[in-house]
Amino acid sequence: MSRQVGKVKRSPDELPRVSACLAALGLSGDQQLKEFFEAFKLSGVLSRRPHELLDLCSPTPQIEEATNFGRDTYEIAENFICLTSGEGEGFILYSKCDGKVYDLCVNQLDALEAGSIDATWPSFYDLIEWYLSRDL
């Protein structure tokens, strides 16, 4: 994150919103997401990736909104959180059960629920490393 030119550091006055958004998603005890989103916001991050990762609470609770959309529209299971908006009928999903991250199209959701899709990244931090990498 040190190479980012935008405003990526979270201000202390935003921390109550971070806690509230994590709680609304059922992620209060998730240490990786808590540590990351207490320190940084993704709304100011520049990436060379075709995906745009959403921020937890800046300027709005984007992850919660995308997750609600994914659940309402595509019946994404309760144990997954949408880290992208679903534009183009694809999502990056975070598993609340094991912390793994999946990049998939909506036509793969049944296979994901059946356990026949492998995680794209073993953790949220691995996703962030990939997202910020300059290598394509």
- Quote the pLDDT of residue 63: 93
Instruction: Please spell the DSSP secondary structure of the chain, one letter per residue.
Output: -TT--S--BPPGGGHHHHHHHHHHTT-TT-HHHHHHHHHB-GGG---SSSS-PPPSSSSS-HHHHHHHHHHHHH---TTEEESS--TTSEEEEEETTT--EEEEEGGGHHHHHTT-S--SBSSHHHHHHHHH-S--
Amino acid 69: pLDDT: 96
pLDDT for position 109: 95
Query: Considering the entire predicted model, what is its pTM?
Result: 0.88
**Residue 1's pLDDT is what?**
45
Per-run averaged pLDDT (10 residues), the chain, 136 residues: 61 91 90 88 68 86 95 95 90 95 95 96 94 72
Architecture of domain 12-132: 3-Layer(aba) Sandwich (3.40)
